[in-house]
């Protein structure tokens, strides 16, 4: 924690309490309203729009601040927004996000939403997170930021900590069970997360915040809003942040630099353009993910070593991630009159490494690709070489990048009771990855100048891949409204055509093992029906479909072991996209309280699970994509929120879900009896409770979450127990100092200091030996790995707005 930050803030806070007694604070009321669509494409309440409008006039008085407003109308402290779309959607607003820790990620923010299983790994992380929504894993969930696909286009990993600072998030929408028909995603089987950025303000101002807390965590953030530039109608903002933290378990640290920026231009009252940009550069040591045996032995202390001993692949200087990202988008909305409009967005998103890992490398009788070597070149003179050992400790540098660019066009024609939408999305993506290995000295030192080679200068490499993908997606949707818009019937279809090719350029790898080209055509129809009895009551029914293209190199080509020269993973024998059909029926109420209850059922064919495991003697992982066949699930979810009463609002959510795998899985020349087993990472019960207080001066938010036990193997022979976590945030808007509006916030994460496994990092088919169905022989198992949830963390933030 930054020195004296908490002490100084508390002194100011006490001073502010005395100032309150003198009656120096003001409050503003506003009324609730109905849902509408903002230019950013996200559903929110008219009340929020009124608050934003009124806040502009209040700013002129210099007696109030924008974030003092809105708290009176936000249901559940900003955790629930009124929707009328005939799908199940949950929304978190900036009012709620602003009360959470400034190092929160999108995944950790949505953990209170029904159907979501997610947990923070610590006070700060730059890694992609594990996530489930209604039993669908993170790779099956679409993630977009301002209409841009925000996941790796080939593996579907989401680097949300690298996308946007939480201070700049306007709202997050979670669509459980379905996907927007115009969404630019090709992995979203049955759920979608979309985030939007806070737009530039009408008035020029600076916002600065400094945070400090447990495990040496700190974050510095600054944002500058230009206001309207001249009389051009152009507004902009740019923000920058720096954050660092110690690895709370094991040795090492985390550092991240991030920039967000945007320019907006209004051409007419109904036409506008936006340019959005983001940049991240981050570095952190690697989290280690324990097996159940590791967890029982080491518990919360499982992590990297700070001292090196020969052969120690867990040494901190051998394990880490140096990652970065760039994204940019040009968004346009044009209204041509006569009910005609066009949304056009061009975007580009780039993610890059490298990662580095500790490795155990054969000095003799190893392999480069599929070609054996007798000895490593010049092995007698290699740093760290021990003549008594056949192994050498090395540092693996896995360098990679992915680039995804595209354009998404959506046209609308509204005429009388009918709205016709036609969209086209084109995406081009490429990926490249290669590996180099470097010898580690007896003291743990290594240099990236001269890589390990064999067979007369051939660099050791296990992954020398290149990938290209082109996708064309067309969608047509027609919505008809009857009885003065009380009844709407919406039908549409999306048709996606994808071409994906991989090459694996390794010695001895030829033919179909060297290059694979796949073409896929997927139609995705949907029907949505909505009936609104009156402004307070609504019922909706839908039948939707979604698809997920097979993920990663291992879906098309084999990877090769450096110890045996044989495939360590094999491609899918039946390359088909995962496909999901979902039915929902839901009821919404918006009145004295807000509530949504939905029952759902879905069937998945060609359900794909990525079995992830550590390579022997290494901290790097290898993935094997499994076609698990069919999956069926049914359940019910609900969320309810109150409007503020005496400044207090309540939020609650819950879900019950039953899942059933539909097939026995082929394994080692036999079959495992997985039919009828429960899906991995799909707890039967989950629920949350939120309590918010906000009187315009003091504010606080308490969250409690329960997650039921989860299976980690397809045979259901290993699982993690249920857990309960709670977070608390509270603070005060301090008295103004001239024109400066300061604020203090304290966040307590995992206030019960629960020691728990939050989810699975790598699934397996079976942990214990099982009997094959066909041959009756014993089939060996492998151990799943797990994510350790965040410990107790305290964060203090002092912020101020300068006009």
Confidence of residue 130 (pLDDT cuts 50, 70, 90): confident
Instruction: Say if residue 348's pLDDT is above 90.
Output: yes
Q: Beta strand pairing status for 778-779 and 741-749?
A: unpaired
pLDDT recorded at residue 699: 96
What's the average model confidence in pLDDT over 193-213?
96
Instruction: Name the percent of the chain lying above pLDDT 70.
Output: 91
Instruction: Name the percent of the chain lying above pLDDT 90.
Output: 77
Decide: helix, strand or coil at residue 773: coil
Confidence of residue 284 (pLDDT cuts 50, 70, 90): very high
Question: Which of 305-314, 334-343, 615-624, 704-713 has the least mean pLDDT?
Answer: 615-624
Confidence of residue 296 (pLDDT cuts 50, 70, 90): very high
What's the average model confidence in pLDDT over 554-572?
86
How far is 193 from 598, CA to CA, in rounded Å?
18
Confidence of residue 619 (pLDDT cuts 50, 70, 90): confident
Instruction: Say if residue 618's pLDDT is above 90.
Output: no
Instruction: Say if residue 394's pLDDT is above 70.
Output: yes
Ranges 2-6, 7-11, 187-191, most confident: 187-191
What's the average model confidence in pLDDT over 458-473?
94
pLDDT recorded at residue 79: 95
What's the average model confidence in pLDDT over 6-29?
38
Instruction: Say if residue 9's pLDDT is above 80.
Output: no
Give the tokens for residue 345. 């967005």
How far is 123 from 377, CA to CA, in rounded Å?
44
pLDDT, tens digit, 9 for 90 and up, residues 309-320: 999 999 999 999
Instruction: Say if residue 71's pLDDT is above 50.
Output: no
CA angle 125, 130, 132 (to 5 degrees): 145
Instruction: Say if residue 44's pLDDT is above 70.
Output: no
Tell me the HSE value of 209 on the side-chain side, using a 13 A CA sphere.
Answer: 28
What's the average model confidence in pLDDT over 325-332?
96
pLDDT recorded at residue 565: 85
Phi-psi group of 17: left, alpha or beta (phi > 0 → left; psi -120 to 50 → alpha; rest → beta): alpha
Average pLDDT over the chain, rounded to whole? 89
pLDDT, tens digit, 9 for 90 and up, residues 469-484: 999 999 999 999 999 9
Confidence of residue 466 (pLDDT cuts 50, 70, 90): very high
Which has more confidence, 31 or 618?
A: 618
What CA–CA distances, in Å, run from 165 to 226, 257, 259, 260, 500?
19, 10, 8, 8, 33
pLDDT, tens digit, 9 for 90 and up, residues 565-584: 888 888 888 889 999 999 99
Confidence of residue 269 (pLDDT cuts 50, 70, 90): confident
Instruction: Say if residue 1's pLDDT is above 60.
Output: no
Would you say 72 and 160 are in contact if contact means Cβ atoms under 8 Å apart?
Answer: no
pLDDT recorded at residue 756: 95
Going by C-alpha positions, the residue among 124, 187, 112, 110 that lies closest to residue 151 is 187
Residue owning tokens 């353009």: 273
pLDDT recorded at residue 73: 55
What's the average model confidence in pLDDT over 759-771?
92
SS (H, E, C) 363-408: CEEEEECCEEEEEECCHHHCCCCCCCCCEEEEEEEEEEEEEEEEEE
SS (H, E, C) 32-80: CCCEEECCCCCEEEHHHHHHHHHHHHHHHHCCCCHHHCCCCCCECCCCE
Would you say 477 and 492 are in contact if contact means Cβ atoms under 8 Å apart?
Answer: yes
How far is 248 from 280, CA to CA, in rounded Å?
22
pLDDT, tens digit, 9 for 90 and up, residues 695-706: 999 999 999 999
What's the average model confidence in pLDDT over 641-650?
96
Burial (CB < 10 A; 0-12, 13-18, 19+), residue 562, is: buried
Question: Which of 18-27, 101-110, 263-272 has the least mean pLDDT?
Answer: 18-27
- 3-state percent helix, strand, coil for the chain, nearest multiple of 5: 10, 55, 35
Going by C-alpha positions, the residue among 298, 313, 333 that lies closest to residue 40 is 333
- Cβ atoms within 10 Å of 589's Cβ, excluding its own: 15
What's the average model confidence in pLDDT over 208-233?
96
- Cβ atoms within 10 Å of 8's Cβ, excluding its own: 14
Peptide bond into 354 cis (omega under 30): yes
pLDDT, tens digit, 9 for 90 and up, residues 169-191: 999 999 999 899 999 998 999 89
């Amino acid at each position: 924690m930054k020195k004296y930050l908490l002490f100084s803030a508390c002194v100011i806070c006490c001073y502010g309490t005395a100032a309150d007694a003198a009656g120096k604070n003001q409050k503003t009321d506003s009324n609730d309203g109905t849902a509408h669509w903002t230019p950013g494409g996200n559903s929110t309440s008219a009340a929020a729009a009124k608050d934003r409008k009124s806040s502009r006039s209040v700013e002129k008085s210099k007696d109030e601040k924008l974030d003092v407003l809105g708290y009176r109308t936000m249901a559940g402290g900003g955790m629930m927004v009124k929707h009328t779309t005939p799908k199940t959607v949950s929304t978190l607003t900036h009012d709620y996000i602003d009360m959470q820790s400034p190092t929160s990620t999108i995944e950790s923010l949505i953990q209170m939403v029904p159907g979501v299983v997610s947990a923070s790994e610590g006070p700060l992380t730059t890694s992609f997170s594990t996530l489930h929504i209604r039993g669908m894993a993170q790779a099956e969930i679409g993630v977009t930021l301002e209409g841009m696909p925000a996941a790796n286009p080939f593996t579907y990993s989401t680097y949300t900590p690298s996308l946007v600072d939480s201070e700049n998030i306007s709202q997050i929408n979670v669509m459980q069970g379905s996907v927007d028909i115009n969404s630019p995603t090709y992995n979203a089987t049955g759920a979608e997360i979309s985030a939007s950025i806070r737009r530039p303000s009408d008035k020029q101002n600076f916002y600065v915040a400094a945070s400090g807390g447990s495990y040496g965590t700190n974050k510095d953030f600054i944002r500058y809003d230009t206001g309207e530039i001249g009389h051009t109608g152009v507004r902009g903002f740019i923000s920058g942040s720096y954050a660092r933290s110690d690895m709370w378990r094991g040795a090492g640290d985390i550092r991240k630099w991030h920039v967000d920026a945007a320019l907006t231009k209004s051409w007419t009252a109904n036409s506008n353009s936006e340019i959005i940009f983001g940049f991240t550069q981050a570095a952190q040591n690697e989290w280690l993910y324990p097996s159940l045996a590791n967890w029982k032995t080491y518990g919360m202390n499982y992590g990297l070593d700070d001292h090196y001993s020969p052969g120690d692949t867990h040494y901190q200087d051998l394990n880490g991630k140096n990652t970065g990202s760039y994204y940019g988008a040009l968004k346009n909305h044009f209204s041509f009159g006569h009910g005609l409009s066009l949304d056009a967005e061009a975007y580009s998103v780039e993610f890059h490494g490298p990662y580095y890992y500790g490795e155990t490398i054969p000095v003799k009788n190893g392999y480069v690709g599929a070609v054996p070597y007798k000895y490593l070149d010049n092995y007698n003179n290699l740093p760290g070489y021990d003549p008594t050992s056949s192994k050498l400790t090395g540092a693996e540098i896995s360098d990679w990048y992915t680039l995804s660019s595209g354009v998404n066009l959506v046209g609308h024609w509204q005429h009388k009771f009918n709205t016709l939408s036609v969209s086209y999305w084109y995406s081009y993506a490429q990926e490249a990855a290669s590996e180099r290995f470097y010898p580690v000295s007896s003291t743990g030192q290594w240099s990236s100048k001269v890589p390990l080679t064999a067979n007369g200068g051939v660099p050791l490499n296990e992954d020398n891949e290149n990938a290209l993908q082109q996708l064309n997606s067309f969608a047509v949707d027609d919505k008809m409204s009857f009885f003065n818009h009380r009844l709407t019937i919406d039908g549409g279809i999306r048709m996606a055509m994808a071409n994906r090719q991989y090459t694996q350029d390794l010695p001895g790898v030829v033919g179909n093992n060297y290059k694979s080209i796949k073409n896929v055509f997927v139609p995705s129809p949907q029907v949505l029906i909505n009936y609104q009895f009156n402004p307070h009551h609504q019922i909706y029914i839908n039948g939707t479909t979604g698809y997920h293209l097979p993920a990663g190199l291992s879906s098309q080509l084999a990877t090769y072991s450096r110890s045996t020269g044989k495939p360590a993973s094999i491609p899918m024998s039946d390359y088909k996209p995962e496909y999901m059909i979902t039915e929902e029926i839901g009821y919404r109420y918006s009145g004295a309280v807000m509530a949504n209850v939905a029952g759902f059922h879905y069937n998945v064919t060609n359900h794909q699970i990525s079995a992830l495991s550590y390579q022997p003697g290494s901290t790097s992982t290898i993935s094997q994509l499994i076609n698990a066949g069919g999956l069926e699930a049914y359940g019910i979810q609900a969320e309810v929120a109150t409007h503020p009463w005496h400044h207090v609002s309540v939020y609650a959510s819950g879900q019950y879900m039953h899942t059933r795998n539909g097939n026995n899985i082929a394994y080692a020349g036999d079959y495992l009896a997985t039919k009828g087993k429960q899906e991995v990472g799909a707890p039967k019960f989950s629920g949350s409770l939120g309590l918010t207080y906000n009187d315009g001066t003091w504010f606080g938010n308490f969250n409690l979450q329960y997650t039921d036990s989860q299976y980690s193997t397809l045979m259901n022979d290993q699982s993690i127990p249920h857990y309960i976590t709670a977070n608390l945030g509270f603070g005060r808007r301090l008295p103004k100092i001239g024109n400066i509006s300061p604020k203090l916030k304290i966040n307590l994460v995992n206030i019960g200091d629960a020691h728990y496994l939050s989810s699975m990092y790598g699934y397996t088919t079976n942990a214990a030996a099982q009997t094959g169905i066909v041959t009756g022989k014993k089939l060996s198992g492998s151990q799943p790995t797990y994510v350790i949830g965040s410990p107790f963390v305290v964060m203090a933030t002092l912020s101020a707005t300068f006009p």
